[in-house]
Chains A and B, each alone.
Chain A
Amino acid sequence: MSKEYKSVEEIISDLPAIREVCVSLRETLLANLVMLGEIPAPTFKEEARVNFLMQRFSECGLTNTSSDECGNGLGIVPGKDRTRNILVMAHADTVFSERRDHTVSVHAERISGPGIADNSLGLAVLATLPTMLEKLGIELNSGLVLMGAARSLGRGDLEGPRFFLENNKLPLTSGICVEGVKLGRLSYASAGMLRGEISCRVPEEYDWIRRGATGAILVMNEVINRILGIALPRKPQTSIVLGSVEAGTGFNIIPTEATLRFEVRSESSEIVERISGELEDIIEDVTSQTGSEVTLDVVARREVAGLGIGHPLVKQTREIMSALDLRPHITPSISELSALIASDVPAVTLGITEGEHLHEQRETVKIDPIFTGLTQLIAVLLAIDGGFCDESE
């Protein structure tokens, strides 16, 4: 199939043949998924998983593989045109601690295990992509930069992707971020976001009788009630996710510390900024009312930015998805895509398959839709490589 595509329509006419090759590599992909999925990789501890990924790159015959100071794992398939490079990226970290049992189970139609969807599958796709291209006989004009990104989630705050993009010397034409789920996902803009941690400490000599209160949990409860009182507009879409609360150690021990982790997301940077101001007011107010120490630690921020729906990369991706009977689910991203957009690299995020129980021990992905997801990815790659996704000068 080593041919020069003259249009996206030509690529689309080859979709069934591409899918067939993807299916023929099912065991290779699933073996990579199992082996990557069984290596724990909480944020900041991705080294073993990234090393395995690089070993896979080397075994595929990639001569240029390396890891950088930030722990990202890279493999480069050189192209004929040195001025064009496509970055395909998947985050290597997961939300699961290394103490969690990472055994992966393979069933007839699905695979399950912690982190299998987010994002062991994305990483397994990267590990298998060189073999797929080789079997398809595809030699890209552009260089293909495959990257397992470290320190992406939570407190990692995209440190890995940012580090690479700030220090990379290769001219990048476009980027594709690969997420295990969900097939049909199409992100081409990043949402505004503020991710933070509110900590509350009550002094140990606190006068319990005076307040009638019982420690840090009640103070945090007051903070939460106030947050729930913040008015959120329906348009632009805005939400506040209260992600986790930690406090206390037993039945009758008065807690002196409590922590709340939250994330504000909005299609508008101004609204994120307004909510940020309101949060600070709440904290000041609760501090003065209760005499406890309440602090806000901002862990990550994103600005609203991205491609327009009419950008050729978005347009061609939608064409390809439509040819595969996929209805694009357009959603703004706060993950690696934001780092690419901030570096002025046109990029999209694509999902590979359907899944369920995300971020639970029994996280599961369906096997059959994976091949449609892979076909979509390879077709978008070919469209970028053919120059069909370039913006006109």
Chain B
Amino acid sequence: MNLNEWISKNTFHHAQFWDIKQLIEDKEKQGLTISLCLPTLNEEKTIGKEIILFKSELMDRYPLLDEIAVIDSGSTDQTREIAAAYGADVYLSADILPQYGEKKGKGENLWKAVYQLKGDIICYVDADIANIHPRFAYGLIAPLIYNEPMKYVKAFYDRPLAFSQGIRPSGGGRVTEILVRPLFSLFFPDLTGLIQPLSGEYAVRREVLESIPFPIGYGVETSHILDVYKKWGMEAFGQTDLDQRVHRNQSTLSLGKMAFGILRAFLARAKDMGVDVDMNKLSSIMRQFQAQDEKYQQVEHEIVEEERPPMITLPEYREKFGRD
């Protein structure tokens, strides 16, 4: 299949899945359970609204979700209290599999969710979305219910606020367009079919999540894509347009650190996929500048991109989910 064919076949718009009753019928026929995971760190301003909408619309009104869980990295604000008050199951990341220690990063929460949550499908949604709507979950879950070979469905957002001409530029954020898409274009052109490979919202089958490693930091989305591509090919991917997403904007310096982590995660996998890189010779220090008056100073950030192993390799997980 060429890339354009893949794009037209595996790209959706959330409006295609407006009939949630039908979706639930198909879910029940297949005997699937679905978990929604909201990884959090100090999200008291937005978490309550997300839980209210998902619980009311996709649990109470239409029983698409079997559980809504917040996996928190140790918020110091009211995030956990608000989430629990509105009816989510709230877990402190450090309390899950404590024998494996506690690492700081969103990837850590996503990885621990695989152990803690029960769903056959886990849908991850960032907790900082100001214009949250049930489509952020059902738009990603629906392609998995309707397409058996599909395993990993990513969100993209493509509704410009104002545009006057017929053709408009489309794509991802700054890190995607400056780093990830050029890398994919060079080494894995198929993956350029993903419009926003770094988006934080995706729904994935458990069989995939349990068998891939999780970098705990910035590289988790990139490494997932490479691992899924290597193991299952492009047919495993889907992507859904969820219209507009309103969230906090990050500074260019933060994006620089993110790009560094992504690059390390990419290179760590590249060798296995036919790109020759010696990771031991690469630096783990990312250098940026800060200035005071006329003095410039380099600031060093160590970005190691530690990784959690595939969940299926843990005896605790195999016992809990009956995997031999």
A325 within 8 A of partner (CB): no
Which stretch, A28-36, A115-123, A382-390, touches the partner chain B?
A28-36
- In the complex, A35 Cα to B86 Cα: how many Å? 16
Whether B131 lies near A27 (C-beta < 8 A) is: no
Whether A107 lies near B82 (C-beta < 8 A) is: yes
A103 within 8 A of partner (CB): yes
B149 surroundings in chain A (CB, below 8 A): none
Whether A31 lies near B53 (C-beta < 8 A) is: yes
Given the interface contacts A28-B61, A38-B131, A59-B61, does A106 sit within 8 Å of B56 by beta carbon?
A: no
- In the complex, A104 Cα to B78 Cα: how many Å? 18
Given the interface contacts A27-B86, A27-B87, does A106 sit within 8 Å of B48 by beta carbon?
A: yes
Given the interface contacts A28-B60, A103-B246, A108-B81, does A34 sit within 8 Å of B131 by beta carbon?
A: no
A22-45: CB near B (< 8 Å → 1, else 0) gives: 000001101110110010000000
Whether B130 lies near A31 (C-beta < 8 A) is: no
Q: How many residues of A contact B (CB 8 A)?
A: 15
Instruction: Identify which of residues 85-140 in chain A touch chain B, using a CB-to-CB cut-off of 8 Å.
Output: 103-108
- In the complex, A131 Cα to B7 Cα: how many Å? 42
B270-310: CB near A (< 8 Å → 1, else 0) gives: 00000000000000000000000000000000000000000
Q: For B54, give the chain A residue with the smallest CB separation.
A: A31
**What is the CB-to-nearest-CB distance from A61 to chain B, in angstroms, rounded to a whole number?**
12
Whether A27 lies near B52 (C-beta < 8 A) is: yes
B111-135: CB near A (< 8 Å → 1, else 0) gives: 0000000000000000000110100
**What is the CB-to-nearest-CB distance from A392 to chain B, in angstroms, rounded to a whole number?**
43
B45 within 8 A of partner (CB): yes
- In the complex, A32 Cα to B52 Cα: how many Å? 10
B55 within 8 A of partner (CB): yes
Whether B56 lies near A27 (C-beta < 8 A) is: yes
Instruction: Identify which of residues 346-393 in chain A touch chain B, using a CB-to-CB cut-off of 8 Å.
Output: none
- In the complex, A30 Cα to B61 Cα: how many Å? 13
Given the interface contacts A107-B48, A108-B85, does A31 sit within 8 Å of B131 by beta carbon?
A: no
Q: For B51, give the chain A residue with the smallest CB separation.
A: A27
**Residues of B bordering A, CB below 8 Å:** 44-46, 48-49, 51-53, 55-57, 60-61, 78, 81-82, 85-87, 130-131, 133, 246
Contact of B131 among A103, A106, A107, A108 (CB under 8 A): A103
> How many A-B Cβ pairs are below 8 Å?
45
Given the interface contacts A27-B55, A31-B57, does A105 sit within 8 Å of B82 by beta carbon?
A: no
**What is the CB-to-nearest-CB distance from B49 to chain A, in angstroms, rounded to a whole number?**
4
Interface centre among B45, B52, B53 (most CB of A within 10 A): B52
Whether A108 lies near B78 (C-beta < 8 A) is: yes
B246 surroundings in chain A (CB, below 8 A): 103
Q: For A56, give the chain B residue with the smallest CB separation.
A: B61
Contacts A28-B56, A31-B55, A38-B131 known; 5 new A-B pairs at CB < 8 A: A28-B60, A34-B49, A103-B130, A106-B86, A108-B81
B87 surroundings in chain A (CB, below 8 A): 27
A28 surroundings in chain B (CB, below 8 A): 56, 60-61
- In the complex, A103 Cα to B246 Cα: how many Å? 10
- In the complex, A106 Cα to B85 Cα: how many Å? 12
CB-based closest 4 A-B pairs: A31-B56, A106-B48, A106-B49, A27-B56
A43-69: CB near B (< 8 Å → 1, else 0) gives: 000000000000000010000000000
Instruction: Identify which of residues 308-332 in chain A touch chain B, using a CB-to-CB cut-off of 8 Å.
Output: none
- In the complex, A107 Cα to B53 Cα: how many Å? 13
A106 surroundings in chain B (CB, below 8 A): 48-49, 52, 86
B130 surroundings in chain A (CB, below 8 A): 103
A31 surroundings in chain B (CB, below 8 A): 52-53, 55-57
What are some 5 contacts across the A-B interface (CB < 8 A)? A31-B57, A38-B131, A106-B86, A107-B82, A108-B48
- In the complex, A257 Cα to B195 Cα: how many Å? 52
B44 surroundings in chain A (CB, below 8 A): 107
